[in-house]
């Protein structure tokens, strides 16, 4: 997980997971609309999960 992705997931979470698939982007987008913190957490989890 690069520093750029982490910063992007803090600023606008859906853009950070754009290359992970439509489902991930949709989930993170909905969580970001509900509240910014859940969107950031979901984006960081998805990014961390894809690195392993």
- Helix, strand, or coil here: 17? coil
Query: What pLDDT, on a 0 to 100 scale, did the predictor assign at position 11?
Result: 95
- Rounded Cα–Cα distance for residues 2 and 29 (Å): 21
Query: What pLDDT, on a 0 to 100 scale, did the predictor assign at position 51?
Result: 67
49 pLDDT above the threshold of 90: no
Q: How confident is the model at residue 1 (pLDDT cuts 50, 70, 90)?
A: confident
pTM of the model: 0.88
pLDDT tens readout for residues 8-42: 999 999 999 999 889 999 999 999 999 999 999 99
């Amino acid at each position: 997980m690069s520093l750029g992705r982490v910063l992007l997931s803090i600023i606008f979470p859906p853009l950070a997971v754009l290359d992970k698939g439509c489902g991930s982007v949709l989930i993170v987008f909905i969580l970001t609309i509900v509240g910014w913190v859940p969107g950031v957490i979901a984006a960081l989890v998805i990014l961390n999960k894809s690195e392993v």
